[in-house]
């Protein structure tokens, strides 16, 4: 099924409204999910809508949050998201960061008591229209083992930076700090294929190429995988994300991050509140003239696109480029949904009386 | 040869002074190199002293720099290092960032027209005594290929964050964004060993396990290595470091970063000035109370140390822990130097008339 982006956004917003979220915020939340689908990040788009609805049903997401700044300096803030949707709290935090950057040059906001915020790029990219560099981090439900461990201790904890350019699209780096994302394992599993050694270990810590190992207690490996390929660096990067997002904000960290799936309960005696994010905005002109920066960004991008290729037919891909291309295409041609997602949306449609 | 750290530091400072650098700055620069040796990062310690001296001899390092802030907001600055030693300019930038953080909550400083700054951790850790989080990035001479390319376009561009803790040592993540550092290839080569596939490609872009390939035009791979293990993420991380350090500061980026070795000249028509760094300081109490943060950092560290092990005899290593242990040991027992480094120092000793 291929569906028009605006129609899908309206449906998504209506579902959120049917759950009791006000129109403004429902549209804000829907925008994040549809943007993921437009950008080709299908795992983080409407495929997750029912997941959010289930969390609302279990009162693990607050539909009427009173998000509040609980700590502040001229260039920083800590935001209590009051257990609202992360899709909204991260935007709210980013707007605060942008305002602070206007005053001070940069703004940084740590967010506690939140939920999964969708794609990091959405939030980081909010800075771009202000000629600012955007940054967004979040921790996530534990699925990844630290080096030498067979325990799920870290999420796929993404790092995203968005840099404005001139004639080129912005440079948007958005990456999970695990070697492979969960979604890639699901795709391999559906196709009956194996996955490369180094993506995952089984519950006993043994290497496996079976993508279903994750469902039977297996664990993802950090970027770099094992010792010989510097997996400790992926662990280190994930640690940075966890500490900035949660230890600094007052959210849960490490193994305590609440699961996204509503059928798993958060573990008890949590050290923090909800999930944590960390967002920042940096005015380009707090460092150098905007047009100079953009000209050099263009030169950077052009230079890397022209780098000598290993295979003449496979170009160097500038981070973010494929997503901009997908967005252009899908904005016109519509968003392709696989049958499992369509079933999921149809069942939400029936349950909440919202036509798809 | 094992040498006392203070004696080695004095020798190093005397060498810098013999090159015309004033006593204060010579001691500052020596402190960075000795700290690397104390922490066990032998590749970045006095092993590089002769490299700096050669750059001074070629006038590629200015011994009497007039470092100046050329652009500023309350929370940010851009520093022109006037081609001085990066060992000093990064400290200077970090002190500015710390002052700004005292006023605004955070401070960020982009540094242009600099040189190689030694270990990133030295600079980031300057924030710790102020109960601040420190961050240091730098670009470096091109040795790493972007994904799908066989051209040296990026340095090993490190990322470092230092977080204060309570009863534990600070959490210090300091990693090159390549899979393997140059130094690891040298060690394998000296030992006549091969290296794992994925560390390096030869000049034609083919996988190789020969560590000498780097000397015959080979190229390091970004963290994650090839396509199947998400090498594009290492490329993305390296791109973040390059842009923040150089495109934002006005330094050289990508293939234009001047080489550390004095026998290679910088390529012509450079788009920027010198090498670039990016440093930041974030006051912990700009986000939450310091003692709360430190207690949770201790809990984070204790929890990760106790994570279930794959092999009962191999513990989870907290980032920075081995370096603190080395420093403790070497502060007492002295710094072991290999014979090649000793020869190098002896030749500097003779050349400049400074007793070792």
How high is the pLDDT of residue B190? 82
Low-confidence ranges of chain A (pLDDT < 70): none
pLDDT recorded at residue B183: 78
Query: Do the domain assignments include residue B327?
Result: no
Each residue of A223-265: pLDDT tens digit? 999 989 999 999 999 999 999 999 999 999 999 999 998 999 9
Alpha-carbon gap, residue A116 to A85, rounded angstroms: 7
Same domain assignment for residues B117 and B198: no
pLDDT value of position B356? 93
CB B155 within 8 A of CB B142: yes
Give me the pLDDT at residue A183, please: 78
Residues B130 and B48 in one domain: yes
Are B235 and B199 in a shared domain? Answer: no
Task: Give the Cβ contact number of residue B100 at 10 Å.
Answer: 26
- In tens, the pLDDT along B274-322 reads 999 999 999 999 999 999 999 999 999 999 999 999 999 999 999 999 9
Measuring CA to CA, which residue among B82, B68, B85, B80 is closest to residue B17?
A: B85
Same structural domain for residues A348 and A279?
no
Whole-number pLDDT of residue A184: 85
The tokens of A284 are what? 């380009």
**Is the same domain home to B84 and B197?**
no
Provide the pLDDT for residue A314: 97
Mean per-residue pLDDT, B221-239:
96
DSSP secondary structure letter of residue B287? T
For residue A149, the chain B residues in CB contact (below 8 A) are 307-310, 316
Per-residue model confidence as pLDDT tens digits over B44-96: 999 999 999 999 999 999 999 999 999 999 999 999 999 999 999 999 999 99
Q: Which of A137, A291, A304, A306 to mutate to test the interface with B (most CBs of B within 10 A)?
A: A304
Residue A313 lies in a domain: no
Q: How far is the alpha carbon of A298 from chain B, nearest alpha carbon, in Å? A: 10
| CA dist., res. B342 & res. B348, Å (int) | 10
Which pLDDT belongs to residue B191?
A: 86
Residues of A in contact with B299 (CB under 8 A): 271
Q: Which of B264, B182, B253 is nearest to B219 (CA)?
A: B182
Distance from CA of A170 to the nearest CA of B (A): 12
Is the pLDDT at B184 greater than 90? The verdict is: no
Q: What are phi and psi of A111, to 5 degrees?
A: -120, 125
**Rounded distance between C-alpha atoms, residue A203 and residue A84, angstroms:** 33
**A219: its two tokens:** 């664990």
If asked whether residues A292 and A145 sit together in one domain, one would say: yes
The predicted pLDDT at position A336 comes to 97
**A163/A252 same-domain check:** yes
Residues B43, B94 share a domain: yes
Name chain A contacts of B180, Cβ cutoff 8 Å: 230
My answer on whether B249 and B184 are in the same domain is: no
Would you state the pLDDT for residue B28? Answer: 98
Task: Say how far apart CA A286 and CA A105 lie, in whole Å.
Answer: 5
| Of the residues B246, B271, B286, the one at which a domain ends | B286
Average pLDDT, chain B: 97
Best of B218, B304, B311, B320 to substitute, by most chain A Cβ atoms within 10 angstroms, is B304
Report the complex ipTM.
0.98
- Which of A220, A244, A274 is the endpoint of a domain? A220
Question: Which among B62, B74, B69 has a CA at the least distance from the CA of B110?
Answer: B69
Domain contains B79: yes
Pairing of strands A171-175, B76-80: unpaired
d(C-alpha A54, C-alpha A116), whole Å: 13
- Asked whether residue B71 falls in the same domain as residue B210, the answer is no
State the alpha helices, DSSP H only, in A83-217.
86-104, 120-125, 182-190
Residue A32: which domain range? 1-57+323-356
Write down the pLDDT at residue B209.
95
Asked if the model's pLDDT at residue B16 lies above 90, the reply is yes
- The domain that holds B209 is classified in CATH as 3.30.60.50
Measured between CB atoms, which of B104, B110, B147 is closest to A74? B104
Q: Phi, psi (5° rounding) for residue A82? A: 55, 35
Position A19 in a domain: yes
Residues B39 and B72 both lie in one domain: yes
Chain B residue numbers with beta carbons less than 8 Å from the beta carbon of A73 are 104-106, 283, 286
In which band, very low, low, confident or very high, does the pLDDT at B348 lie, cut at 50, 70 and 90? very high
Count of A-B CB contacts under 8 Å: 262
- For residue B325, being part of any structural domain is answered with no
Asked if A168 and A315 count as a contact pair (C-beta separation under 8 A), the reply is no
Q: Which residues of A touch B248 (CB under 8 A)?
A: 133, 284, 287-288, 293
Residue A284, domain member (yes or no): yes
* Residue B233 near residue B24 (C-beta atoms within 8 A): no
Domain boundary among B286, B308, B341: B286
Instruction: Give chain A positions within 8 Å (CB) of B175.
Output: 230, 232-233, 236-237
**Chain-chain contact of A201 with B310 (C-beta, under 8 angstroms):** yes
d(CA A153, CA B303) in angstroms, rounded, equals 9
Quick one: B27 and B68 in the same domain? yes
Which of A105, A133, A153 minimises the CB distance to B307? Answer: A153
- Number of folded domains in chain A? 3
Judge: A271–B106 Cβ closer than 8 Å, yes or no: no
- 8 Å CB contact of B243 and A171: yes
- The answer as to whether B293 is a domain residue is no
Is the separation of the CB atoms in B303 and A239 below 8 Å? Answer: no
H/E stretch holding B14: helix B5-18
In a domain, A115, yes or no: yes
Rounded Cα distance, B232 and B154, in Å: 13
**For residue B146, which residues of chain A lie inside 8 Å, CB to CB?**
304, 307, 316
Chain A residue with minimal CA distance to B250? A288
Mean pLDDT of B100-117: 98
């Amino acid at each position: 099924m291929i569906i028009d982006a605006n129609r899908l956004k309206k449906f998504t917003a209506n579902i959120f409204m049917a759950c009791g979220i006000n129109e403004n915020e429902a549209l804000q939340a829907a925008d994040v999910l549809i943007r993921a689908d437009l950008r080709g990040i299908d795992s983080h788009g409407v495929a997750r809508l029912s997941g959010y609805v289930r969390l609302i049903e279990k009162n693990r997401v607050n539909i009427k949050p009173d998000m509040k700044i609980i700590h502040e300096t001229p260039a920083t803030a800590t935001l209590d998201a009051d257990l609202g949707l992360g899709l909204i709290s991260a935007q709210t935090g980013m707007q605060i960061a942008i305002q602070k950057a206007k005053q001070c040059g940069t703004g940084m906001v740590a967010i506690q008591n939140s939920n999964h915020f969708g794609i990091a790029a959405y939030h980081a990219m909010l800075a771009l229209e202000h000629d600012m560099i955007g940054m967004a981090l979040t921790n996530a439900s534990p699925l990844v083992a630290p080096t030498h461990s067979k325990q799920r201790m870290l999420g796929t904890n993404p790092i995203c930076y968005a840099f404005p350019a001139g004639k080129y699209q912005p440079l948007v780096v958005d990456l999970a700090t695990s070697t492979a994302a969960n979604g890639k394992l699901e795709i391999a599993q559906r196709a009956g294929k194996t996955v490369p050694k180094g993506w995952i270990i089984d519950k006993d810590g043994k290497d496996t190429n079976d993508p279903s190992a994750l469902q039977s207690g297996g664990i993802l490996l950090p970027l770099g995988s094992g010792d010989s390929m510097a997996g400790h660096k992926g662990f280190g990067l994930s640690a940075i994300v966890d500490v900035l997002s949660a230890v600094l904000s007052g959210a849960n960290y490490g193994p305590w991050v609440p699961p996204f799936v509503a059928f798993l309960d958060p573990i008890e005696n949590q050290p923090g509140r909800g999930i944590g994010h960390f967002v920042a905005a940096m005015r380009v002109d707090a460092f150098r003239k905007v047009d100079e920066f953009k000209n050099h960004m263009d030169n950077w991008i052009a230079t890397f696109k022209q780098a000598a290729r290993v295979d003449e037919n496979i170009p160097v891909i500038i981070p973010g480029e494929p997503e901009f291309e997908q967005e252009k295409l899908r904005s016109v041609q519509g968003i392709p949904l696989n049958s499992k997602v369509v079933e999921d949306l149809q069942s939400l449609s029936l349950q909440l009386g919202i036509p798809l």
